[in-house]
Every structure is written in structure tokens, then in C-alpha cells.
Amino acid sequence: MYEIIEKKRLSDTVKLMKIKAPLVAKKALAGQFIILRIDEEGERIPLTIADYDRKQGTITVIFMEVGKTTKQLGTMKVGDKILNFAGPLGVASEIEKYGTCVMIGGGVGIAPLYPIVRELKKAGNYVICILGARNEKLLMLEKEIKEFSDEIHICTDDGSKGTKGFVSNVLQGLIDKGKKIDIVWAIGPVIMMKVVADVTKKYDIKTMVSLNPIMVDGTGMCGGCRVIVGGEIKFACVDGPEFDGHKVDFGNLMLRNRRFLKEEEHACKIAGVKI
């Protein structure tokens, strides 16, 4: 059993939880994820690691309440226990000195971006962050990320904070100004990652994206999380979750992420939660 030792409400639908899991915390690295199962009847869901504290033995996850399990998780309180919590899973981000890194986070995707930003900064990179959200209320971790950024750009869909527009516009602006960019990380909604990858492809700037397909076991066993990368089947759980954004078939990922929408709606209805 894994105890929730801290809980924060980041917005109406986004919550942060610190969970006691010393073995996972000991090994966790930026870019990896965990799989949790709330109770005996629960499903296994992957959540990307938003932070880790080896001394405290905790893992921080930030999640948006989108389905049955995340909604149920959102109702849990400090002191409550989660039945299963396995990780760290997946291949960690490759942290090295690249030069200038542009780090793009959209919505709840800002959460897993944070530890990568921190580690890249520590590795001596010049770090430019572009954070986007639908509106100011949904923007998270600005302060934390600022601490490890050389430059930070904010944009919102409605213009309630920063520039009005999309992260890809800000990125295009940087490129247009002649900024030399060595690598880009983009984590957020699939469509955002696709648009960013489309932009950087034109300029041949290496771009890493973190994929979030539906998973079951998280250990390479079921293949439910398969994605098409460079024309080949890859498993996000053991080969990813990060992949070269220029090679990912985003259309297929979007399609596969809709596989159980009807069932999810049904489960939420039965459980009396709205989606």
C-alpha cells in the first residue's frame, strides 16, 4: 500500500499528489512513469513522474481528471492508500549537454516536463521554456520551472496570461528570430506535440515527445501501448515513453487513444461521475 502524503488542487480538474513509494523514488529519473491501481477492482493507469524526492521516498504525480480512475483518484485524501504503485517504468530522458534546449509543455504536460527541465539545466544547458495552457487557471508549475529556465515564455489560448496563441507560434517566433536551437522537448496534448514536431522538422531540429497511450501492464507484455515510430511498432512502456517526434505516427496514436471512450463514459456514468 502506498500512502498519499500530500495533495494539492492545481485547478478544477488538475491535482497534484505526493505518494510514498521509497523503492520507486530511489530509482526515478526524469521522463519515466509509474503505473498505479487504486483498489481491487481498479484498472492500471500510467502517470508520468512529475517529481521525486529520494530522501523523503516520495513520487509526485500530477493528473487531470479525465476518466473513471483519475476522477476516483482525485477524491482520495492525504493519508489514504493506493493499492498498487509500480515503477519507475520506461526509458529516462537522455540528459546531456546539448547547448540550447527549448522545452515545450502544454496543459498537464507541463508536469512531466518539469524534472527534465531541471536536469537539463543542471547539465549545463541554456534552457528556454515555452508553457501553454487553455487559460491562466490551467497553467501550472510556472514558478518551479522558472527557477531552472534561462528564458520562459507563456501563452494561453484565450490570452488570459502571456501571449495569446499556441506554443508552436512562440517556437516559430524564436526560430524566426534566428535563435540557434539544439534540441526540443514537447510534452502535452497529442495534437500539440504533432504541430511542434511539424514545425521543427522543417528546420531539422531534433524533437523529443513523450507519448501517453493506453496501457495495461507497463512492462512490455501486452502491447496495448504500441505506437508506430519510423514505420515500426514500438511499445511506449518499454521503448518509450519518449520518442523522436519526427518519426511518430500521431494520427494512429490519436485513434488508439479513443479505443475505450464509450466504455469510459459508461463506467463514469455508473460510478456517478461526470466527464
Please report, as ranges, the residues that interact with other proteins according to CB under 8 A: 23-24, 27, 37, 41-44, 68-69, 83-89, 216-224, 226-228, 233, 238, 252, 255-256, 258-260, 262-264, 266-267, 270-271
**Minimum gap (Å) between residue 213 Cβ and other proteins:** 10
| Closest-CA residue to 88 (of 51, 135, 136, 42) | 51
Give the residue with the Cβ less far from other proteins, 175 or 228: 228
Rounded Cα–Cα distance for residues 226 and 233 (Å): 6
Rounded Cα–Cα distance for residues 114 and 141 (Å): 8
**Minimum gap (Å) between residue 123 Cβ and other proteins:** 23
Give the residue with the Cβ less far from other proteins, 21 or 95: 21
**Minimum gap (Å) between residue 18 Cβ and other proteins:** 18
Give the residue with the Cβ less far from other proteins, 153 or 234: 234
**Minimum gap (Å) between residue 40 Cβ and other proteins:** 8
Rounded Cα–Cα distance for residues 210 and 186 (Å): 7
Give the residue with the Cβ less far from other proteins, 9 or 254: 254
Give the residue with the Cβ less far from other proteins, 58 or 168: 58
**Minimum gap (Å) between residue 153 Cβ and other proteins:** 35
Give the residue with the Cβ less far from other proteins, 55 or 177: 55
**Minimum gap (Å) between residue 214 Cβ and other proteins:** 10
Rounded Cα–Cα distance for residues 220 and 142 (Å): 34
| Closest-CA residue to 248 (of 258, 260, 236, 261) | 236
